[in-house]
Amino acid sequence: MSDKRLARLLPIARWPTADEAARLRWFSPVRLGPLELAARTWIPAMVPWRATDDGFVTPEVLGWYRRFAEGRPGAIVVEATGIRDVPSGPLLRIGHDRFVEGLARLAREVKDASGGATRLFIQLIDFLAIKRRVEPERFFRRFLVIDDALRARFPGLDDDAIREDLTLRADDALLDPRQRESLRMGYRERVTDVHLPHVRDLPRTLPPLFADAAARAKEAGFDGVELHYAHAYTMASFLSRLNTRADGYGGPREHRVRLPLEVHAAVRARVGDGYCVGARLLGDEVVEGGSRVDDATYFAVRFAEAGIDFLSVSKGGKFEDAKPPKVGEAAYPYTGPSGHECMPHVKIDARGPFGRNVPLAAAVRRAVRDAGHDTPVVAAGGIASPWQAEAILEAGDADLVAAARQSLCDPDWFEKIRLGRGDEVRRCFFTNYCEALDQAHKEVTCQRWDREALDDASMRSRDGKRRLIAPPWRG
């Protein structure tokens, strides 16, 4: 490994011995509502782009989760999975009963590979429409809606003539900010687009969609569900300070939290108290005018009051500050400053990526405890060492400590640590090769796996060049 990369790893002077590992809080049990986890080690949701184009589980999806389960973490959260029965590309889906069979296979695979040690959650997501950016000419000719404001700027011209004029100018000066954004970024729906009936009706349509999806997760044998209330998607957009809906579901915090609470209530009513239901939310949206940690603590207390079983805290990952995509591509919410906070790169800034988002989880946990609730809180973001996890748990900053990219890089790392063989851990460089693949909707893999022989042809990426699962560990 190059000296430069070594220098940027989180220093670990010494790995725990097996005896020390046995005493680590990270490997101690914890209760999440009705569910007991054998350890506080947690693999948060990561989309690997391995489902079919119709959203079904494939052998590659099974292989991906089996490999994580072999490391026997306390819990794995299956990637963001769409709750609607609509085409969504190769995103896993749970919006119809026909998906249950494949998901049940996935649940069995994880139980099997972990010897029953790992609890399995599935992250339930809803998202609004987002279109690819198009060439300016195509935008003006086909996609731009000629509205009264534009008509007023071209007195005497009909809509076709206005369109022609704008196309010839190829200039955005006459567009309003939203139209200009659609030209630069591609069109994107917002929860505030209440002129669109399906957006206006979200408070009515979403609770049963989430409830049905949760019921399918239960039927498929998952131990619980994680409601995706984070990042760039519908539910986080309801929680956002940028949500100005005037129908009782936007504006002040009490209104913004209403739909997420109603979704939780609908899910709970469907799956019962004996089933584990948690949520992932943002400790800070990081974008201008967005929610901050004081919003997050308020929401967390409201969720805790409502009887949610765990709260997983993330940060950023928004469309509002994303980079303009290339023509032909859609915006990706992890390309701007908020996205960088969500999956911090090793060179993010002088502070580095390690444990960077823990203070948000700590603030959420403190607020929930101060309000008299014992709802467990999951922290994530740049966790790469057992000592770091121990310090977080010891300080009471979180109850569970998640590691996404380090677990992707080496799914056996929990087992290696447990066995006192931490020096065999393949350490994550936090350089985000995996995230770039996610952005391109290509099968997510790790740059560090490809150094090992491509011995199993059935587990290669479509281009044949990359391993689809981590190399085996001959423990």
Ligand X SMILES: Cc1cc2nc3c(=O)[nH]c(=O)nc-3n(C[C@H](O)[C@H](O)[C@H](O)COP(=O)(O)O)c2cc1C
DSSP per-residue codes, 81-140: EE-SSS--SS--B-SSGGGHHHHHHHHHHHHHHTTT--EEEEEEE----B-----HHHII
Taking CB under 6 A as the criterion, which residues in 410-469 touch ligand SF4?
A: 428-434, 446-448
- Find which of ligand X, ligand SF4, none residue 446 binds, CB within 5 to 8 Å per kind: ligand SF4
Piece of 39-47, 198-206, 240-248, 293-301 that binds ligand X (CB under 6 A): 39-47
Q: How far is the CB of 123 from ligand X (least distance, A)?
A: 6
Catalytic residue among 229, 233, 332, 334: 233
Q: 118: which 2 tokens?
A: 């790992």
- Find which of ligand X, ligand SF4, none residue 383 binds, CB within 5 to 8 Å per kind: ligand X
- In Å, how far are 20, 24, 187, 188, 427 from 423, measured between CA atoms? 14, 17, 48, 46, 10
- In Å, how far are 68, 423, 444 from 413, measured between CA atoms? 10, 10, 19
The yes or no reply on residue 47 touching ligand X (CB under 6 A) is: yes
The yes or no reply on residue 405 touching ligand X (CB under 6 A) is: yes
Q: Is 233 one of the catalytic residues?
A: yes
Q: Which of 343, 351, 371, 347 is nearest to 436 (CA)?
A: 343
The yes or no reply on residue 343 touching ligand X (CB under 6 A) is: yes
- Find which of ligand SF4, ligand X, none residue 447 binds, CB within 5 to 8 Å per kind: ligand SF4
Nearer to ligand SF4, 66 or 466 (CB): 466
Q: 314: which 2 tokens?
A: 């993330």
Annotate each residue in 291-330 with x if it binds ligand X (CB under 6 A) or - if it does not, as one string.
Answer: -----------------------x----------------
Q: How many amino acids of this chain bind ligand X (CB under 6 A)?
A: 25
Q: How far is the CB of 430 from ligand X (least distance, A)?
A: 7
Taking CB under 6 A as the criterion, which residues in 380-419 touch ligand SF4?
A: 405, 408-409
Is 321:338 a contact under the CB 8 Å cutoff?
yes
Q: Is 78 exposed, middle or buried (0-12, 13-18, 19+ CB in 10 A)?
A: buried
Nearer to ligand SF4, 331 or 444 (CB): 444
Nearer to ligand X, 58 or 167 (CB): 58
- Find which of ligand X, ligand SF4, none residue 448 binds, CB within 5 to 8 Å per kind: ligand SF4
Q: Report the 10 Å Cβ neighbour count for 179.
A: 20
Q: Is 288 exposed, middle or buried (0-12, 13-18, 19+ CB in 10 A)?
A: exposed
Q: How far is the CB of 344 from ligand X (least distance, A)?
A: 6
Q: Report the 10 Å Cβ neighbour count for 137.
A: 12
The yes or no reply on residue 44 touching ligand X (CB under 6 A) is: yes
SS3 121: strand
Q: Output Rg (C-alpha) for the chain, integer angstroms.
A: 23
Nearer to ligand X, 136 or 260 (CB): 260
Rounded to 10 degrees, the C-alpha dihedral 251/256/258/264 comes to 170
Q: Report the 10 Å Cβ neighbour count for 352.
A: 16
Is 394:20 a contact under the CB 8 Å cutoff?
no
Q: How many amino acids of this chain bind ligand SF4 (CB under 6 A)?
A: 13
- Find which of ligand SF4, ligand X, none residue 41 binds, CB within 5 to 8 Å per kind: none
Residues that bind ligand SF4 (CB under 6 A): 405, 408-409, 428-434, 446-448
Residues annotated catalytic, as ranges: 233
